[in-house]
Structure 1
Amino acid sequence: MMLTTPAAAADKAAGWNEGGGEQDEALHLTPNLENGIEVYEVCAACHLYEGWGQPDGTFPQLAGQHRHVLIKQLADIRALNRDNPTMYPFALPESIGGPQSIADVTAYIATLPMNPEPGRGPGTDLEHGKQLYKDNCVRCHGEHGEGVEEKYYPRIQGQHYNYLMRQFAWIRDGKRRNANPDMVKQIQEFSDKDMAAVLDYVSRQQPPADKLGVVGWENPDFK
């Protein structure tokens, strides 16, 4: 069995998001929002026209996510760097187009107002969750889960609790191959109780008012 040396682990952590390929190409293209709307119609079958996903966590909320994050994740799925067999066929160039379409659709998704009523946790251990978040998550995801676009740290505020739970468990347990190794290391000792508490707290972090839609909003671009 090949053992991972500290130097190799450090190299992996430094290179988890080296980019290249479609990721870099899409980042440097000028988005066409009209085409983004057309491309997004493919995505809407699962993520809904509003980009709000499903509270049961089947599909995440995409609306309002940082464009850099969206580009990276879509490019990773297409390059088989992130396992998502449900989405993979819909993300292929023959379904949505090439790097220009990635640039277009991600720019469009980033403009969508966010769901003001995402799926939240049970609210039973919030103080523990708040402390865990302060001790482990603030450095990358920010005080309120706002993330950092330039560093590809996602906005996790306003995300559905059940989706957060699934992704956190996969990252902690080594099942999400494009996860930031720094995060894997940071959360590897979290128990299931810790995970539920911190994500319950995260699910209650409200995005800024200018990012939120109104209850019952319907996307006028698809009327």
Structure 2
Amino acid sequence: MKTRISLISAAALLALALPALAEGTVDTSSWNQGGGEQDEALHLTPNHENGIEVYEVCSACHQLNGWGLEDGTFPQIAGQHKDVIIKQLADIRALNRDNPTMYPFALPSEIGGAQSIADVAEYISKLPMNPNNGKGPGTNLALGEQLYKDNCVRCHGAEGEGDDAKFYPRIQGQHFNYLMRQYEWIKTGKRRNANPDMVQQIQGFTDADTEAVLDYVSRLKPPAELVAAPDWVNPDFE
């Protein structure tokens, strides 16, 4: 518990030191630079036991099950593609993605080097997903479905399954409120490692469009074999 409290305190302090991007500026040059820890971790053999140990640090925010919080403060990461997790962790550590809250937790001094990235990414990818993620209001799902089919399927797949090989994340089963926040950050350029094709594609979306399509996405269901029972508790931390 003391370790988690100290990490949270560090997060508040280090957040002040991180570079900020001006609102409204769209800089997508860091979308997928590769190299460094990303490339190294992608080619390492994961160690399951170390993955458990590293994940204990992550669980302070993402919860022991990896299900995050329905209010969207922290996303569900359980079941996310391994290579997507590796990319995002490496980007945060290299400051290609601004995440002041997570940055202190992801530092090599806290979780280790590229091997630990590979280990925890594999571990998280195998966690069963939340069967009851946070949903949107459900008021304009027909529009949301059409927008999704017209704009999102090419990368995220018909069911929101994503594509690990291309670093497109799984978005099925994600909390609506988290989707809304990330969408705004992608659109305005605050999330600098977003795919530039997506940044450009969503510029014309109205607020109503955004809510409708992400409401629809929040209702896309992962395959049954990836989903936990509602009362599932991570046995690695019992």
Deviations 1:86-122 (A, max 9, x none): 1100100000000000000000000000000000001
**Alpha carbons 2:92, 2:106 under 8 Å: kept:** yes
Relative to the length of structure 1, the TM-score reads 0.93
Residue 33 (structure 2) aligns with: 18
Residue 46 (structure 1) aligns with: 61
**Poorly superposed stretches of 4+, deviation over 3 Å:** none
| Alignment partners' CA distance in 1, 2:31 and 2:114 | 21
1:108 to 123, 145, 151: 123
Deviations 1:41-62 (A, max 9, x none): 0000000010000000000000
Note if 1:27 corresponds to 2:46.
Answer: no
**What is the CA distance between 1:216 and its match in structure 2?**
1.8
Amino acid at match of 2:56: E
| Alignment partners' CA distance in 1, 2:122 and 2:220 | 24
Residue 114 (structure 2) aligns with: 99
1:1-223 equivalence runs, <5 A: 16-223=31-238
Residue 12 (structure 2) aligns with: none
Amino acid at match of 2:127: L
Q: Report sequence identity in percent.
A: 73
**What is the CA distance between 1:183 and its match in structure 2?**
0.4
| Alignment partners' CA distance in 1, 2:59 and 2:84 | 18
| Alignment partners' CA distance in 1, 2:187 and 2:50 | 37
Partner of 1:175, secondary structure, is coil
Q: Structure 2 regions of 5+ residues with no counterpart? A: 1-25
**What is the CA distance between 1:173 and its match in structure 2?**
1.4
| Alignment partners' CA distance in 1, 2:206 and 2:183 | 11
| Alignment partners' CA distance in 2, 1:174 and 1:83 | 11
| Alignment partners' CA distance in 1, 2:231 and 2:192 | 36
Q: Structure 1 regions of 5+ residues with no counterpart? A: 1-8
Residue 15 (structure 2) aligns with: none
**What is the CA distance between 1:16 and its match in structure 2?**
2.8
Amino acid at match of 1:67: K
RMSD across aligned positions (CA): 1.2
